[in-house]
Structure 1
Amino acid sequence: MWKIPIELEIGLKYTRSRRRKAVSQRDGFLSFISGISMAGIALGVAALIVVLSVMNGFQKEVRDRMLSVLSHIEITSPAGLANWESVSEKLSGQTHVLGVAPMVSSQGLLSRGESMRGVALRGVAPELEGKVSDLPKQFVAGSMNDLKPGQFGVVLGAQLAGTLGVRIGDRVSLLVPEGDLTPAGMMPRMRTLQVVGIIDSGHYEYDSTLTIMHWRDAAALLRMSDPTGLRVKVDDMQRAPEIAVKLAQVVPQALWVSDWSRSNRNWFAAVQTEKKMMFIILTLIIAVAAFNLVSTLVMTVTDKQADIAILRTMGASAGLVQRIFLVQGLAIGLLGSLSGVVFGLLIALNIDVIVPFIEALFRVQFLPRDIYFISQLPSDVRFDDVLTVGVMAFVLSILATIYPSRRAAQVKPAEALRYE
Structure 2
Amino acid sequence: MDILVERAVIVGVHIQTDEHFEYSMEELKNLAEAIDVEVVGTVTQNLERRNPSHYVGTGKIEEIRNFYEEADANVVIFNDELSPSQIRNLENGLECKVIDRTMLILDIFERRARTSEARMQVDLAQLQYMLPRLIGLRASLGRQAGGTGGGLQNKGAGETKLELDRRIIEDQIAKLKRDLEGVQYQRETQRKQRKRSGTPVVSLVGYTNAGKSTLMNGILKKMNAEVTKQVFEKDMLFATIDTSVRRVRLPDNKEFLLTDTVGFVGKLPTHLVKAFRSTLEEARNADLLLQVVDVSHPEYRFMMDVTNQTLSDVGVENIPTINVFNKADLADMKYPKVSDNNIWLSAKDGDGLDELVELIKSYVFDKYITCKLLVPFDRGDVVSYLNDKANVKETAYEEEGTYMTVEMLAHDRERFEEFITSY
Q: Report the TM-score, using the length of structure 1 for normalisation.
A: 0.23
Larger RCO, structure (CA 8 Å, separation 6 or more): 1
Larger Rg: 1
